[in-house]
């Protein structure tokens, strides 16, 4: 379990800069909404993440398919790998927003 | 009782082109099974179907007579060395050993040059060294079933000999499937040899040297 979690985290960190940029960029473009405004921003954010994370999945799958065997050998399916990484990505953004929500 | 893995009813087609259709293969802890066949005969596809990441039109993999749909998702059951590089080369060697639950010191005993790279990322190694490291990572894993697809490719002769010795030692507590175009090495190391012949049939060879010639695999 510990090994699998570490493997998923290391996988996420290979593209975290890009997905974090998308999250923070879209939030910035929408004038950094917080509180009530963030709830209005949320559906757009989720749609954007579904679209961009699908692109990430497609790109990584087609550019280096052999690498997925590294995770298969750790009993992690492709679907579980990507969905777990995307869940970490969205959770980290929500944690950041929560902290800002508390501070401001 | 020795653990066994049987694969049969492996049926794979791409766009109506049959790749595999009549396969039976049995591997048992304590034995090395060689898998031979011409280029494009479906050896790698068969290994991936056994591993569980490639789904064909039909497949049956049984471990100790029990059907398993996705062997690779079973805890501590099977590992697979693909033909091409698969480790994230930015990760450190020690970290990779830790993730795969392989002892770094055991690996370094077989691969002394690795000692100085313990805390270095994999991409510090040469292409052949990366291949050897990847093969050891799979071969020394704590699982009973190991599938090796072209483990000797890109290896220097001294590494090939070392790998052959490790395979002989590891088969005491593992079942190993070995597929490689260095067929003489495969013949030397294997207890059983299967040949994949057109169109996608497996044949267990009784007299490998003569049978390989009669099936046109060798001259």
- Chain B CB contacts of A68 under 8 Å are 53
The verdict on a CB contact (< 8 Å) between B100 and A68 is: no
Count of Cβ atoms closer than 10 Å to residue B57 Cβ: 12
Helix boundaries (H) for B57-103: 93-99
The verdict on a CB contact (< 8 Å) between B51 and A72 is: yes
The verdict on a CB contact (< 8 Å) between A7 and B87 is: no
CATH number at residue B95: 3.40.50.300
ipTM (interface predicted TM): 0.94
CB B107 within 8 A of CB B136: yes
Q: Minimal CA–CA distance to B205: which of B181, B183, B174?
A: B183
Q: What angle do CA A78, A79, A80 make, to 5 degrees?
A: 95
Residue of A nearest to B73 (CA): A75
CA-based nearest distance B73→chain A, Å: 4
The total number of structural domains that make up chain B:
1
Contact of A11 with chain B, judged by CB distance below 8 Å, is answered with yes
CB B199 within 8 A of CB B14: no
Residue B143 lies in a domain: yes
pTM of the model: 0.94
Q: How many CB pairs under 8 A join A and B?
A: 47
Spatial strand order in the sheet of B32-37: B78-81, B145-149, B175-179, B32-37, B192-197, B201-204
**What burial class does residue B112 get, using C-beta atoms within 10 Å of its C-beta: 0-12 exposed, 13-18 middle, 19+ buried?**
exposed
DSSP state of B92: B
Contact of A3 with chain B, judged by CB distance below 8 Å, is answered with yes
- Distance, in Å, from the CA atom of B199 to the CA atom of B211, rounded to the nearest integer, reads 17
Residue B26 lies in a domain: yes
Count of Cβ atoms closer than 10 Å to residue A7 Cβ: 24
CA-based nearest distance B135→chain A, Å: 12
Return per-residue pLDDT of chain B as tens, 219 residues. 789 999 999 999 998 899 999 899 999 999 999 999 999 999 999 999 999 999 999 999 999 999 999 999 999 999 999 999 999 999 999 999 999 999 999 999 999 999 999 999 999 999 999 999 999 999 999 999 999 999 999 999 999 999 999 999 999 999 999 999 999 999 999 999 999 999 899 999 999 999 999 999 998
Residue B219 lies in a domain: no
Residue B27 CA, distance from chain mean position: 12
Which residue reads 């510090």 in tokens? B124
Domain carrying residue B112: 4-214
């Amino acid at each position: 379990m510990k090994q699998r979690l570490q493997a998923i985290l290391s996988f996420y960190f290979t593209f975290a800069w890009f997905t974090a940029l998308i999250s923070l960029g879209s939030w910035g473009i929408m004038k950094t909404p917080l509180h009530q405004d963030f709830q209005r921003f949320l559906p757009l954010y989720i749609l954007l993440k579904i679209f961009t994370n699908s692109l990430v999945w497609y790109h990584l799958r087609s550019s280096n398919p052999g690498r997925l065997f590294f995770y298969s050998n750790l009993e992690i399916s492709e679907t579980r790998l990507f969905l777990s990484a995307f869940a970490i990505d969205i959770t980290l953004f929500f944690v950041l927003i929560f902290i800002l929500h508390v501070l401001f | 009782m020795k653990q066994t893995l049987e694969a049969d009813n492996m049926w794979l087609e791409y766009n109506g082109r049959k790749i595999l259709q009549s396969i039976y293969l049995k591997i048992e802890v304590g034995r090395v099974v060689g898998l031979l066949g011409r280029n494009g005969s479906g050896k790698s596809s068969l290994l991936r179907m056994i591993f569980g990441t490639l789904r064909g039109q039909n497949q049956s993999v049984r471990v100790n007579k029990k059907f398993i749909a996705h062997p690779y998702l079973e805890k501590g059951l099977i590992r697979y060395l693909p033909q091409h590089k698969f480790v994230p080369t930015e990760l450190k060697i020690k970290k990779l050993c830790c993730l795969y639950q392989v002892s770094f010191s055991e690996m370094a005993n077989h691969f002394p040059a690795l000692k100085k790279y313990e805390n270095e990322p994999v991409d510090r190694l040469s292409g052949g060294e990366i291949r050897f490291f990847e093969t050891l990572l799979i071969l020394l894993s704590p699982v009973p079933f190991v599938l090796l697809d072209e483990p000797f490719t890109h290896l220097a002769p001294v590494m090939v000999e070392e790998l052959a010795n490790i395979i002989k030692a590891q088969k005491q507590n593992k079942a190993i499937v070995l597929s490689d175009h260095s067929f003489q090495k495969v013949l030397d190391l294997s207890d059983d040899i299967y040949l994949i012949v057109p169109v996608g049939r497996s044949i267990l060879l009784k007299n490998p040297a003569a049978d390989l010639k009669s099936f046109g695999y060798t001259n």
